[in-house]
Structures are given as structure tokens and as C-alpha cells.
Homo-oligomer: A and B are copies of this chain.
Amino acid sequence: MVYTKTQFVRFTSALILKSGSVLPETTVAYETYGQLNSNRSNAILICHAFTGDAHAAFFHEGDTKPGWWDEMIGPGKPFDTDKFFIICSNVLGSCKGTTGPASVDPATGHPYGLTFPVITIHDMVALQKMLVDHLGIERLLCVAGGSMGGMQALTWAATYPDAVASAIVIAACHRHTAQQIAFHEVGRQAVMSDPDWQSGNYYGHSIPKRGLAVARMIGHITYMSWSSMDKKFGRNLVGKNVSYNFSKEFQVEGYLEHRGQTFVDRFDANSYLYLTKAMDYFDLTAEGRKLTDVLRNVAQDLLIISFQSDWLYPSDQSREMVRALKANDTDVSYIEIKSDYGHDAFLMECPDQARAITNYLAKVSFERRET
């Protein structure tokens, strides 16, 4: 077993946010795996999805489960720690060590709560850039991520084209659609309508458990496909017979309850609001910009991956990006993977995804060696 620890860095230089608000200081939680080579050319930044954290691989001492993408990161794995220096940091606004609404506002000595400024994907990436600079890396070999992590990877490629040689954008999009906003908004309403939410000032009191659990249940339905749910649960009952009451009687009900209940113990309700909002704001084509124009000065090379059964971030959204990149003559590879797992597929064991990423990283690191 390979052990790892989360590290922390505190920045006292102000972070100016997209909204115009300023965070006077920020802390970033991050982990690294593998060794940075002498010319600092083998660094890869992994961006996590919505409720993820910096702990992407290996084990924390005492844990029986490894990091969230251990399937993909390690010796001989696609993000091969024998070849690459892997960085993963917790995003701004989250609750896993990086500054967010549950952090103490230095101006008041109390948790920010809703006085924390609303953030965007762009702001998350700006803070990651500070971390990468801090680590002394001028140019990343690659930025990769799925879902909200894919939005960050795309934003990196579009915002810092000189600081990133390639990007892997998985199960993501370049703009949130009405349906994606709608699902998030219902989750937020579930949280905010819980009386324990107290306008976000619940720290030190009861947390809005019930609302947050409902929000998470909604999320989980959207992360799975129709058929993966049907194969996993079908109409199977928890007990032997139908109970004719409102207890959990279908296994799918028990599963959702379990997912909701465990989530409230590990995630902050205000972070739920801030991160969903950041995704909803995500739109590279805001203010009438054309996608081809936005992606004109993008990182040199991109790999876009989508999953056939992902109805939350459907393949059509990936193909839209691919078309715009191709129109710009950017090097872009695209693969639509046949998987039953829906949006969650990128987090599951997925040989096709592993192979695509292995080959892609072999190509971009070979090309980088050439230049």
C-alpha cells in the first residue's frame, strides 16, 4: 500500500474573483504523486468533480479505501506515477481543506457562510494556477478532469494556453444548459428550504441534513443511467413483500437514502450551493462570444471523452466542443465510450477510458520531448 498525505499552502496575496469580489487570503489543500523531473516538464494537474477532494490516489493512513481516482492514477496506470508528477487540489468553495464558505473569515473570526463571495469555475482555475506557480511549474504537460473537473480543464486550456500543453475534458461541456441549471436549482432549493439551513448560518448548530440529503438524492439519479439503475436495482424489494406503506421498500429507495445520509456527514451544505452555482455560471460563450473564437488560442492539444449513457452531460455537448476545436484546426481527439454507467462512468473501472488516456498521454509527452 502506498500512503499519501494532503498538504496545504496558504496564499496571502489577494485573489480577485470574476464577480469583482476579493478574497484576501486563501488556503489550498493538495496532494502530489510521483516525481517532478529535472526540467519540470512532466506535471499533470487532475481536477476533481463536484464533491471530490485533493485525495485522488493512494491511501491515507488508516483508510481502507484509496483516493477517488485511484483506478486511474498510480504506477503503470494511465496517469502513471512512474512517469508523471501528478497534482490534485481541492477546489475553491469546497469544504475539503481549500477555502470555502465553511472557512473562517479572517475579518470576522467566524465562518463565512453566505458572506463568502459567489465563485466561478474560472476562479477555481485561477487559484489552481497560483498553486502550480507555487510548485515552480511553468507549463503543465496536461490538465485533466471529468464533469466539473472537465469544465476546469477546458477553462485552463482557454485561459492559460501557454501554461498547459494539453487537456483531457471528460463528460463535461462548455456551457451549462437549462436542464443542468434546473437540476442544480432544485438541489439548492431543497437545502435552502430546510429550516436548519438558517440562511447559511448553521455552523456550530444543527446542519440542514434533510435538505442536503434530498439534494444529493436528486444528484445521484442524474449521475446514473436509466439502464444502470434498472440493472442494479430493477424493482427489487428490500424485504420479501410489498409493505403497502411509505417505508423504504424498493432497493433503489434504500440506496438513495443511504447515499443521502452518508453525504451529509461528509459535505458542507453551503459548499453544495456555491459549487453548483459555479457550474451553473459556467459558459465559455457568455456575452455573445463564439465558441470558435473562445477556443482559438487554446492549449495545443485536447482529448475529449464522453459516455453514451450519460444523459446529464450528453455526448452532443462534447461534440459541440470538438466541432469548434476542429474548425480552429486545433489538435483534438474525441472518443465516445460505450458504457452503461451514465455520468458516473468516468469514475468507474473503464478500460476504454484508461486506454484512451494512456495513449493520449504517450503522444503528448512524446511530442513535448521532441520540442
Contacts and interface: CB of A to CB of B under 8 A. Distances in A.
A188 B244 contact: no
A189 to B, nearest CB: 5
A106 interface: no
A221 B182 contact: yes
Number of chain A interface residues as a range: 35 or more
B185 A230 contact: no
Contact of A234 (B19, B178, B229, B235): B178
Given A214-B214, A226-B177, A186 B221 contact: yes
Contacts of A217: 182, 185-186, 189
A252 interface: yes
Contact of A193 (B177, B210, B229, B252): B210
A263 interface: no
A92 interface: no
A256 interface: yes
Given A118-B245, A195-B195, A283-B235, A218 B186 contact: yes
Contact of A117 (B235, B244, B273): B244
Contacts of A229: 177-179, 182
21 contacts: A21-B244, A114-B246, A177-B229, A178-B229, A178-B232, A179-B224, A181-B235, A183-B221, A185-B217, A185-B256, A186-B256, A189-B213, A189-B217, A189-B260, A190-B190, A192-B246, A195-B195, A214-B214, A226-B311, A246-B273, A246-B277
Contacts of A314: 226
Q: Which of A232, A256, A314 has the most CB of B within 10 A?
A: A256
Contacts of A226: 177, 179, 311, 314
A217 B179 CA distance: 12
Query: Which secondary structure characterizes the binding site on chain A?
Result: helix
Contacts of A193: 194, 210-211, 213-214
A250 interface: yes
Q: How many copies does the complex hold?
A: 2
| Most chain B beta-carbon contacts within 10 A, residue among A214, A221, A229 | A214
A1 interface: no
Contacts of A310: none
Nearest to A216: B186
Nearest to A229: B178
Contacts of A281: 242
A51 to B, nearest CB: 17
A195 B195 CA distance: 8
A157 B182 CA distance: 37
A250 to B, nearest CB: 5
A344 interface: no
A330 to B, nearest CB: 25
A8 interface: no
A175 interface: yes
A94 to B, nearest CB: 17
Interface in A229-260: 229-230, 232-235, 242, 244-246, 250, 252-253, 256-257, 260
Contacts of A189: 213-214, 217, 256-257, 260
A25 to B, nearest CB: 20
